[in-house]
């Protein structure tokens, strides 16, 4: 921060024309007295108060008060702050500050959240450090502290970054819960309707308002979207695909060629492929089922193919254009045609596909003749990742966390059994609810178990992913944080509900006294406190 007594850095311009070129309407001599700075503004769709115009106005006023002159603007409009992908303004800024000659001395940002709401607060620090290494300060104009590197400002910036990250996490949870509720009520959430279907807009009372065209979005918050049958010719095409597959015995590739010869194209106006035909044959929306969360991209960290148990569904939500029994017959045929192929042969086919393309994916598998579908590989090997590992293929994107999560889910009942045994050894009693996994201890209080996955950071520190089910409302929550390999417990936290806030979680190695007061190296003390001793009668 530049105070009244600070000596300003002077950037000399060769002449008045150059000063004018940098946006200063004053004379060259006046421009020499001002500190050249850049501004970075970002707006997603969160709040109007964060519009780029409002940010620019506040930054301009700050610059004028502190003897600064804005010579360059970097802007990201309509961009999420969860990661740097797609934020061309911030990317350009980071490139420019690493050039030999940087035409500004600082970057002005409205507040810490405009710099980014990165799920990992360390990511925000990395980008700020990139600027600082080049002598470029990052100044947050609307924050009540000075970002001058002092202990107090460092602590406050860290807190603000964590608050921004937590805001993103909480918003993600709330948005997902809202989508889940709407899906279960029969409303469509995102995605193109597909051939033979259309999106119909209804109001909060289910009164039809009209159909949405491609790319058109609802403009009123309380309006909802449902799927309805589309044009008769498209509906007939969908039914023909099912007829060709079931009655004529045509595989997907032949059906695609047949449709293309007749100049019948997909809903996107493109030629048919084996994969697009397969999608029509396997998507439950054609029998009226509303299925959501097949894949997820929470906090824009990594795409995830979710297990069917994680899907959110409402059967019979829409009018079917394919009879359910006919759809079931198709699924039986698809599963049966790979049932006679043993696992070694399936892997051999997958390895041949890898040798042909140098890479494999669900889409490539579904497009290849003579190869079982991607769903068949998931069913046979548990996941595509597992099948990939068996042929020695590692995707560029690291999906290892999926295997870790599965291992931790398998570990969950084992740890519950260990806790029950530990309490029993101290004379206590336990009863486990099979539906919720809540453990009732001595008939007096309930306990829930959370196993937290460890994620080492590039800096060599540890972070933990902790997800709680707030609906359980246990009296005591036991958090087991795993080690860096996610094989053994690193430490434990035992939180009583009376002192525990779900918004404050031990995600770092050291989390301050208010959290670490509940930290233990083993659960022996918890077992002892839960135990009971028999007393002899007087």
Report pLDDT digits (tens) over 65-80.
999 999 999 998 877 7
Please give the structure tokens belonging to residue 102. 């940087």
Higher pLDDT, 23 or 94: 94
Which of 186-195, 446-455, 468-477 reaches the highest mean pLDDT? 446-455
Taking the C-alpha atoms of residue 250 and residue 259, their distance in angstroms, rounded to an integer, is: 12
Q: Is 330 left (phi over 0), alpha (psi -120 to 50) or beta?
A: alpha
Residue 351 has pLDDT above 80, yes or no: yes
Domain 185-336 and domain 401-530, same fold? Reply is no
Higher pLDDT, 533 or 312: 312
Which of 44-53, 319-328, 481-490, 526-535 reaches the highest mean pLDDT? 319-328
Q: Which of 155, 144, 79, 143 is nearest to 111 (CA)?
A: 143
Which pLDDT value is given to residue 467? 78
Burial 24-62 (b: 16+ CB within 10 A, else e): beeebeebeebbbbbbbbbbbeeeeebebeebbebbeeb
Which pLDDT value is given to residue 534? 63
Please state the domain extents for the chain. Answer: 16-167, 185-336, 341-393, 401-530
- In 298-370, which residue ranges form alpha helices assigned H by DSSP? 324-339, 343-357, 362-367
Strand partners, 70: 37
What does pLDDT average to over the chain? 82
Provide the CA 175 distance to its chain's centre, in angstroms. 11
Higher pLDDT, 510 or 5: 510
Residue 37 has pLDDT above 70, yes or no: yes
Residue 431 has pLDDT above 60, yes or no: yes
Please give the share of the chain, as a percent, with pLDDT higher than 70.
86
Residues 6+ apart with CB under 8 A from 349: 341, 370, 371, 372
State whether the Cα torsion 485-487-488-494 is positive or negative. positive
The torsion angle over the Cα atoms of residues 359, 361, 366 and 368, rounded to 10 degrees, is: 0
pLDDT bin (cut points 50, 70, 90) of residue 303 is low
CB-count burial class (<10 Å; 0-12, 13-18, 19+) for 362 = middle
Q: What is the CATH number of domain 401-530?
A: 3.40.1350
DSSP tally for the chain: helices H, then strands E: 18, 18
Count the neighbouring beta carbons within 10 Å of the beta carbon of residue 230: 20
Higher pLDDT, 301 or 169: 169
Task: Quick: pLDDT tens for 516-527.
Answer: 888 999 999 889
* Ranges 16-30, 49-63, 400-414, 507-521: which has the least confidence: 16-30
Q: At what angle do helices 274-282 and 232-246 cross, to 10 degrees?
A: 100
Alpha carbons within 13 angstroms on the beta-carbon side of residue 18 total: 9
pLDDT bin (cut points 50, 70, 90) of residue 231 is very high
Which pLDDT value is given to residue 4? 36
Which pLDDT value is given to residue 297? 59
Residue 16 has pLDDT above 50, yes or no: no
Residue 130 has pLDDT above 70, yes or no: yes
* Ranges 102-111, 130-139, 369-378, 391-400: which has the least confidence: 391-400
Residue 182 has pLDDT above 80, yes or no: yes
Mean pLDDT, residues 412-417 taken together? 90
- In 100-150, which residue ranges form alpha helices assigned H by DSSP? 112-115, 121-133
Claim: this prediction has a pTM higher than 0.85? no
Higher pLDDT, 309 or 46: 309
Q: What is the CATH number of domain 185-336?
A: 3.90.1750.20
pLDDT bin (cut points 50, 70, 90) of residue 13 is very low
CATH architecture under which domain 16-167 falls = 3-Layer(aba) Sandwich (3.40)
């Amino acid at each position: 921060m530049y105070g009244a007594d600070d000596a300003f850095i002077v950037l000399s311009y060769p002449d008045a024309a150059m000063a004018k070129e940098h946006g200063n309407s004053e004379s060259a001599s006046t421009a020499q007295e001002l500190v050249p700075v850049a501004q970075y503004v970002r707006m997603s769709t969160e709040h109007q108060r964060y519009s780029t115009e409002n940010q620019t106005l506040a930054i301009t006023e700050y610059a004028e008060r502190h003897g600064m002159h804005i010579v360059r603007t970097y802007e990201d409009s309509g961009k999420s702050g969860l990661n740097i992908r797609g934020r061309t303004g911030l990317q350009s800024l980071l490139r420019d500050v690493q050039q030999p000659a940087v035409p500004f001395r600082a970057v002005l940002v409205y507040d810490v959240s405009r710099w980014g709401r990165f799920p990992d607060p360390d990511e925000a620090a990395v980008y700020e450090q990139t600027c600082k290494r080049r002598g470029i300060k990052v100044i947050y104009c609307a924050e009540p502290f000075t970002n001058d590197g002092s202990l107090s400002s460092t602590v406050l910036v860290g807190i603000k970054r964590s608050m921004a990250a937590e805001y993103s996490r909480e918003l993600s949870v709330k948005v997902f819960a809202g989508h889940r509720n709407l899906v279960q009520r029969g409303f469509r959430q995102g995605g193109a309707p597909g051939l033979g279907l259309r999106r119909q807009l209804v109001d909060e009372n289910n009164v039809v308002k009209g159909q949405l065209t491609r790319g058109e979005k609802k403009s009123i918050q309380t309006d909802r979207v449902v799927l309805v049958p589309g044009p008769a010719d498209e509906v007939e095409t969908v039914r023909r695909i099912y007829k060709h597959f079931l009655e004529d015995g045509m595989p997907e590739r032949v059906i695609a060629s047949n449709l293309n010869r007749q100049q019948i194209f997909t809903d996107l106006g493109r030629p048919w492929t084996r994969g697009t035909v397969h999608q029509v044959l396997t998507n439950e929306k054609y029998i009226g089922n509303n299925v959501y969360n097949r894949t997820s991209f929470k906090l824009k960290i990594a795409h995830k193919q979710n297990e069917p148990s994680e899907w959110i569904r409402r059967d019979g939500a829409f009018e079917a254009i394919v009879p359910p029994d006919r759809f079931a017959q198709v699924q039986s045929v698809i599963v049966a045609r790979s049932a006679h192929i043993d696992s070694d042969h399936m892997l051999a086919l997958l390895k041949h596909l890898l040798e042909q393309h140098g890479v494999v994916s669900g889409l490539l598998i579904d497009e290849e003749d003579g190869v079982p579908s991607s769903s068949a590989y998931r069913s046979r090997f548990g996941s595509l990742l597992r099948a990939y590992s068996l042929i020695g293929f590692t995707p560029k994107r690291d999906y290892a966390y999926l295997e870790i999560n599965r291992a931790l889910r398998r570990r969950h009942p084992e740890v519950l059994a260990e806790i029950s045994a530990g309490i029993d050894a101290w004379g206590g009693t336990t009863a486990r609810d099979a539906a919720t996994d809540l453990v009732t201890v001595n008939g007096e209080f309930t306990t829930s178990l959370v196993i937290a996955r460890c994620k080492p950071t590039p800096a060599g520190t540890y972070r933990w992913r902790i997800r709680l089910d707030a609906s359980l409302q246990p009296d005591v929550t036991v958090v087991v944080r795993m080690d860096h390999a996610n094989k053994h417990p690193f430490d434990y936290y035992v939180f009583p509900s009376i002192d525990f806030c779900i918004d404050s979680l031990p995600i770092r190695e050291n989390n301050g006294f208010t959290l670490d007061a509940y930290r233990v190296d083993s659960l022996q003390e918890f077992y002892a406190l839960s135990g009971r001793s028999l007393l002899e009668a007087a």
